[in-house]
Structure 1
């Protein structure tokens, strides 16, 4: 037994020695060092180095809930009739920066998505492909999903390239929930810009911007899509010989050119902006002329015109009243570019005419231009807007804002007269094929009451109260009142007289007396809970 134990112990010792010797001959693998995420302090709080690179990244975002209520006057067929709406929204921001020999290289991206229903759904976003609507019986026109690449730009050595806010914008509804005031706040656009800095907070920017997001449709009385505007061509032996058609859908040829001069200092900021905007439509129809006297020569192609806009704004910090207080003042004027004055913000943009709420008594026209039906040439609209907004901190946790705006949009008197003359030639028996875009024959009762190409005004006044019990959490409510109206005369009340535009002859003869209005108004309230991170 003792001999057997000695044998076992000896064998184990031999194996252990042999294993150790063999292990000594194997290559030793060192553990890969763990690269921990390092904080980047060069660009402010929240940045960290992307492992393995010298690029600093900040990830941030937002979650938001909103509920809204607005007055509604109509339950007629085809009208929404909603008084409430809801929204859940997310936002994700990625901000990447690298220090180079030429300065900071930056890339910024922002993705937004939302589910919206009722009065908070947006026809404006549908029209520019940033949302898609539901198709259910009870959901159509009341529910939509919203997806938007709001920002995706690169900044390097003064260059900005990508999708970003227009350099024309200044106030851009900084203190508002809804963004109801009439002021420039265009949807983010695709641009290429260069900014030169001169020291002491002074900078100048030249920007080439995508014109698609600053267009309002050229007036076409048919209201069809694509819009087709009848154009009178000529006479043969004193008889109207034919009417051609002009395709009034705008083409993309020249970009918008934007210039801005800006100063940012301790007292606040100020900016002067200017923009050009080409209006370029399609060709005249080549349909053959008919009538006694033979074939007539058609009018020439509609020449493009350059719309333009100018804006001035100032932001004044008021720490003497309370830390964080600030006042914005802004004014803008445009000819052939109403998107730059933000006149359509309440009613909804990218439409020839629109109403901002269910049961509104009449549509507001927003056309950048009309095509004269006798010359075939463009006549631009003109408008202006003014905005004031003040933010006050009652305490670090409580703040409120007051805001208001006033604006007008006017059309050339000759433009409306020409469209009215065409209406009479195309409707000798008083029949109306144009709906609410019909102008009517000058001198008739219908012409006096038609909403098409009427000069209008609007004003908005509102305020908000926001509680921030902890950092980056806002719980608040906003309410605003807006009024729209015609600058002279009266218009048909489409809510109270929905069949009026199908009774042109009856209106002119006095057999049909429509209800009329000079203005309409709306009150809206929104509640918001928002967390930024």
Structure 2
């Protein structure tokens, strides 16, 4: 009996010791660390696990779109979403009455023009030239008459376009004694009916902010608030680019920014017609300086306003000076282009919560890349063989009214207009067709049944007018007439944002 009792007591003691050890182990276990909300920078931020001072927000969207475009628009499946000024430039056939295959003259800013880019007529000419030489092509051209204007045909690009777009953003912020330390980058990828495999992952934005300093790839500080249009508006520099900027906050929502930004000059160094019209023997020289940009911005409860300016250097060389030197010829030309802009966006909460009205205007001389979506016409100006290089002028304006019919249903009316002038005191070259003015109007209607989920439609109409410049002893380089092209289209979009 004593033996059984001792055995039971020993077993109890063993279990008690075991439970005590397990309790001690449980007490020593590492506590579980949960993600903590960070409300210092708005909704969606959280503290990075293991950090007590860095907040991160991950966001993005997935969008499916289905679009249709009308005739004569160069909205290719890989670049759908451009504005009216990306309509295919027309060309003059038999300019000035000079008949023959050589009478097809393309815009000097687009040396890649081929006969086949211009629909049935152009294809017919190209086929005849291939089968019967220039004589066959000339016979076809003769039937069109002198100064016949040939438009690009929408058959060179898809009129129905569908696809998806995915976007992912990372925004990390830390408060320091020097101010906010922020890093931001954004990835995007897309696929359409023209490229089933889609595009590779692209870095759209990537910059670091440290107090008043911004360094990296982002939107130009010249730009103002963007519209809700799916197509690119007028009056902004619509490409993201490397910047190095300093922003001084003056209080009460007022700030001033000075920024050094990548030059708006495009095309290879020494490439003919890079940022020139009818350049002849003139080519672009290398960029020496970045563009200088400055703005004054006010952001308060009533809305936002901004005035901005930009100055850019343009350098050209005359290739005629590398062969037989012409006495008195100008071999180089250094010119300055500039642009100014002003805009205001007013909150109209008295009409409905979230309503806004925006108007924005830009004027440029030489620096036409700051006019927005006029990429095919974003040259500096005109040049000729005797050393004259002059700047082309232009202006653009865009307006938008955005209205919430209900918290879940919103719509917008958006309109834009741009006009490009001729070079001061000089004509453009002969046998060219250059954009003179373009305008467009959009209508939108969106339904948001669930926060972050949008279903909407957008329709647009766009119109472009070109000046055609003649040739020959009688016509000279003067305008021989105006040419108009227009088209319409629409989008249906489904988008999930998070």
8 Å contact 2:277–2:382 — kept in the other structure? no
Unaligned 5+ segments in structure 1 are 119-133, 232-245, 290-294, 354-364, 420-438, 441-449, 493-503, 509-514
8 Å contact 1:116–1:145 — kept in the other structure? no
- Shift of the alpha carbon at 1:298? 7.5
1:299/1:75 CA distance change after superposition, 3 Å: closer
Mapped to 2, the partners of 1:326 and 1:269 lie a distance apart of 10
8 Å contact 1:381–1:409 — kept in the other structure? yes
2:297 aligned residue: 262
1:208 and 2:219 equivalent?
no
1:473/1:148 CA distance change after superposition, 3 Å: same
Aligned length: 410
2:69 aligned residue: 70
1:399/1:518 CA distance change after superposition, 3 Å: same
1:523 and 2:488 equivalent?
yes
Mapped to 2, the partners of 1:296 and 1:285 lie a distance apart of 8
8 Å contact 2:276–2:383 — kept in the other structure? no
2:248 aligned residue: 196
Mapped to 1, the partners of 2:426 and 2:192 lie a distance apart of 39
1:218/1:109 CA distance change after superposition, 3 Å: closer
1:106 aligned residue: 182
1:333 aligned residue: 363
8 Å contact 2:392–2:423 — kept in the other structure? yes
8 Å contact 1:208–1:257 — kept in the other structure? yes
1:455/1:43 CA distance change after superposition, 3 Å: closer
8 Å contact 2:382–2:423 — kept in the other structure? no
Mapped to 2, the partners of 1:69 and 1:56 lie a distance apart of 42
- Shift of the alpha carbon at 1:200? 1.4
Find the residue that maps to 2:350 and give its secondary structure: coil
1:483 and 2:466 equivalent?
no
1:144/1:58 CA distance change after superposition, 3 Å: closer
Mapped to 1, the partners of 2:307 and 2:276 lie a distance apart of 36
Query: Which of 164, 170, 193 is the aligned partner of 2:218?
Result: 164
8 Å contact 1:40–1:48 — kept in the other structure? yes
2:32 aligned residue: 34
1:382/1:316 CA distance change after superposition, 3 Å: same
Find the residue that maps to 2:228 and give its secondary structure: coil
Mapped to 2, the partners of 1:34 and 1:218 lie a distance apart of 58
Q: TM-score normalized by structure 2?
A: 0.73
Question: How well do the aligned residues superpose, as a CA RMSD in angstroms?
Answer: 3.8
1:72-471 alignment, distance < 5 Å: 72=71, 75-76=119-120, 77=123, 80-117=156-193, 145=199, 147-172=201-226, 174-179=227-232, 181-211=233-263, 214-215=264-265, 229-231=279-281, 246-248=282-284, 250-282=285-317, 284=319, 287-289=322-324, 296-297=326-327, 299-344=329-374, 349=375, 353=376, 365-375=377-387, 377-412=388-423, 414-416=425-427, 419=429, 439-440=430-431, 450-451=432-433, 454=434, 456-471=436-451
Q: Relative contact order, CA 8 A, sep 6+: which one is greater? A: 2
Find the residue that maps to 1:394 and give its secondary structure: strand
Superposed CA deviations along residues 74-102 of structure 1, whole A, max 9, x for unmatched, are: 75349514211112111111111112122
Mapped to 2, the partners of 1:198 and 1:312 lie a distance apart of 19
